[in-house]
Amino acid sequence: MEGSKEQHARMDETDGLPPQARRRAIVTITIAVAISVLSTAIANIALPTMAQELQASPAASIWVVNAYQLAVTVSLLPLSSLGDIRGYRVVYLWGLAVFTAASVACGLADTLPLLVAARVAQGIGAAGIMSVNTALIRFIFPRARLGQGIAMMGLIVAVSSASGPSLAAFILAFSSWHWLFLFNAPFGVLAVWLALRSLPVTPRSGQKFDFASAALNALTFGLILMGLDGLGHGSDRLLVAAELMVGIASAVVFVRLQRTRAEPMLPVDLFRLPIFALSVGTSVCSYAAQTIAYLALPFYFQVAGGFSQSHVGLLITPWPAVVVIVAPLAGRLSDKYSAGLLGGLGLAMLTTGLLLARSLAPDAAFADVMWRMMVCGIGFGFFQSPNNRAIISAAPRHRSGAASGMLSTARLTGQTIGGVTVALIFGFTHGDIAQGDIAQGDIAQGVGIALQAGAVFSGVACGVSFLRMTQPAAV
């Protein structure tokens, strides 16, 4: 997996790749990140059909989604550490190759266990891509344009996340659910071919891979996330309690072990840098706020307002659509202005937008919903790119992989917290959302509480973001 002599040269920190090589590398990363993000949500829409064709219960079919999410989450930090050790290009290429092969295996699976096993492999491959993609951006773009590169990543994630359901519906309109996975194969092969010719070779730390830390990482994130998911969906309380207790105990041992490592897998060394710790905290809270709104508002409009699924999708679309427009601008500004200032102002706008959304009637006109969603989208867009830049640039260059892995871990953790928050609120006010027994008459109560919780998360993130203005700027 060796590229051209031009790519093998060790690059000065401020140079990045030459313009032509940079463009090829950008195309490679765009394709790989897009298909990995799409696979996070694209299977959701076909779960009922999969369950019927594979003769599985609805509860069992949920593992088609959960297996992928868990595999991604528990693999991110170990693979980002491996990127520091073996080089980000190597991890990225192998992750992309595994993801592509596993996508084919998913498309050919004819039983639920085989499909779930293939989704685990696909999640591990996706983690290989997600864990080091931002670290690679640091070597692809010159330092003066790092914000633009990171904004590009945010743009890809936003577009892919927003288009996932629509793409899935389009594919299913013409073919079976198998093509939701087979669809990735040609793009994956193209991305591998391009990556071999375009991605830069990065320095290696020379450290040995820490298998004990990897095992503790899997126990910590796997059990805690499974416990939180079970808590939100009314699973057996004894099982949930056991998962959370063992997960928390593993976390304690994990953190203590990391403090003894020179370059820890869980980057406790980077958390000693105030700008890094504050930026990660901002990210977790912000993604929790966004996820709460994305989950709560569709129930409000569809159950209480009586809108169709397609209409609900149109009502929410202005939020991610505006992020697509704002993220590149925020990325350019982040190369000149403080992430604390840009993120704080953006999150203040997001908090305001969530509170404004709380005042919406369930049958509100599209224009009334649209401008509120746009306020939220503008706010989130101004936070996202500068915050991601702050996380990756706060770390020393040889620890870019750890920072990149933590960036993705913070996003997934925030999304999980947001999902659990909505499930708990709806469970207390209307019953279990998974069973669809939410009463139309009191849906506004649960959504109102959820949006208030989202505003609290966003408000906390806003305050934490402004605290960064007292810290030296990261480069």
Residue linked to tokens 């980000």: 88
Task: DSSP for 368-425, please give it.
Answer: HHHHHHHHHHHHHHHHHHHHHHHHHHHS-GGGHHHHHHHHHHHHHHHHHHHHHHHHHH
At 190 the pLDDT is: 93
Task: DSSP for 312-332, please give it.
Answer: HHHHHTHHHHHHHHHHHHHHH
| Domain stops at, among 260, 278, 297 | 260
User: Is 156 in the same domain as 67?
Assistant: yes
- Distance from C-alpha of 293 to C-alpha of 316, rounded to nearest angstrom: 9
Residue 241 has pLDDT above 80, yes or no: yes
- Name the band, by pLDDT with cuts 50, 70 and 90, for residue 245: very high
Give the mean model confidence (pLDDT) for residues 309-320.
Answer: 74
User: Is 216 in the same domain as 203?
Assistant: no
- Name the band, by pLDDT with cuts 50, 70 and 90, for residue 206: confident
Residue 226 has pLDDT above 80, yes or no: yes
Give the mean model confidence (pLDDT) for residues 196-217.
Answer: 86
Residue 379 has pLDDT above 80, yes or no: yes
For 170-187, the pLDDT digits (tens) are 787 788 888 989 989 999
**Torsion angle of the four alpha carbons 465, 324, 45, 188, in this order, in degrees rounded to the nearest 10:** -100
User: Is 217 in the same domain as 167?
Assistant: no
At 430 the pLDDT is: 60
At 96 the pLDDT is: 94
- Name the band, by pLDDT with cuts 50, 70 and 90, for residue 278: very high
- Distance from C-alpha of 314 to C-alpha of 324, rounded to nearest angstrom: 16
The DSSP letter of residue 240 is H
Residue 427 has pLDDT above 90, yes or no: no
Q: CA nearest 119: which of 65, 77, 163, 73?
A: 65
At 295 the pLDDT is: 78
Helices (H), 259-338: 274-299, 309-316, 318-334
User: Is 307 in the same domain as 226?
Assistant: no
At 472 the pLDDT is: 61
User: Is 369 in the same domain as 470?
Assistant: yes
User: Is 39 in the same domain as 136?
Assistant: yes
For 150-176, the pLDDT digits (tens) are 777 777 877 777 677 677 777 877 888
- Distance from C-alpha of 173 to C-alpha of 167, rounded to nearest angstrom: 10
Answering whether pTM is above 0.85, one says no
Which residues constitute the domain of residue 19?
A: 1-207
Residue 141 contacts residue 15 (beta carbons within 8 Å): no
Q: What are the distances in angstroms from CA 443 to CA 291, 437, 454?
A: 18, 11, 17
Report CA torsion sign: 318, 324, 327, 329.
Answer: negative
Q: What does residue 204 show for φ and ψ, rounded to 5 degrees?
A: -115, 145
Residue 95 has pLDDT above 70, yes or no: yes
- Please state the domain count of the chain: 3
Residue 246 has pLDDT above 80, yes or no: yes
The DSSP letter of residue 262 is S
For the chain, how big is the Rg over CA atoms in Å? 21
Residue linked to tokens 């990261």: 474
At 94 the pLDDT is: 94
380: domain CATH number?
A: 1.20.1250.20
Structure-model confidence comparison of residues 344 and 324, the more confident one: 344
Highest mean pLDDT among 42-46, 293-297, 369-373: 369-373
User: Is 38 in the same domain as 125?
Assistant: yes
| Domain stops at, among 194, 228, 260 | 260
Residue linked to tokens 């073919």: 175
- Name the band, by pLDDT with cuts 50, 70 and 90, for residue 459: very high
User: Is 27 in the same domain as 121?
Assistant: yes
Residue type, position 302, single letter: Q
Residue 4 has pLDDT above 50, yes or no: no
User: Is 172 in the same domain as 277?
Assistant: no
The DSSP letter of residue 175 is S
User: Is 203 in the same domain as 240?
Assistant: no
- Name the band, by pLDDT with cuts 50, 70 and 90, for residue 50: confident
Residue 331 has pLDDT above 50, yes or no: yes
Return the minimum-mean-pLDDT range out of 30-34, 214-218, 225-229: 225-229
- Name the band, by pLDDT with cuts 50, 70 and 90, for residue 8: very low
Structure-model confidence comparison of residues 139 and 428, the more confident one: 139
CA angle 90, 94, 95 (to 5 degrees): 110
At 7 the pLDDT is: 43
Give the mean model confidence (pLDDT) for residues 248-253.
Answer: 93
Residue 347 has pLDDT above 70, yes or no: yes
Residue 81 contacts residue 268 (beta carbons within 8 Å): no
- Name the band, by pLDDT with cuts 50, 70 and 90, for residue 297: confident
Mean pLDDT, the chain, as a whole number?
82
Residue 308 has pLDDT above 80, yes or no: no
At 45 the pLDDT is: 65
- Distance from C-alpha of 393 to C-alpha of 408, rounded to nearest angstrom: 15
User: Is 233 in the same domain as 89?
Assistant: no
**In the numeric block, which tokens belong to residue 350?**
């997001």
User: Is 26 in the same domain as 160?
Assistant: yes
Q: What are the distances in angstroms from CA 197 to CA 19, 127, 146, 173?
A: 15, 22, 22, 36
At residue 434, the 3 state secondary structure works out as helix
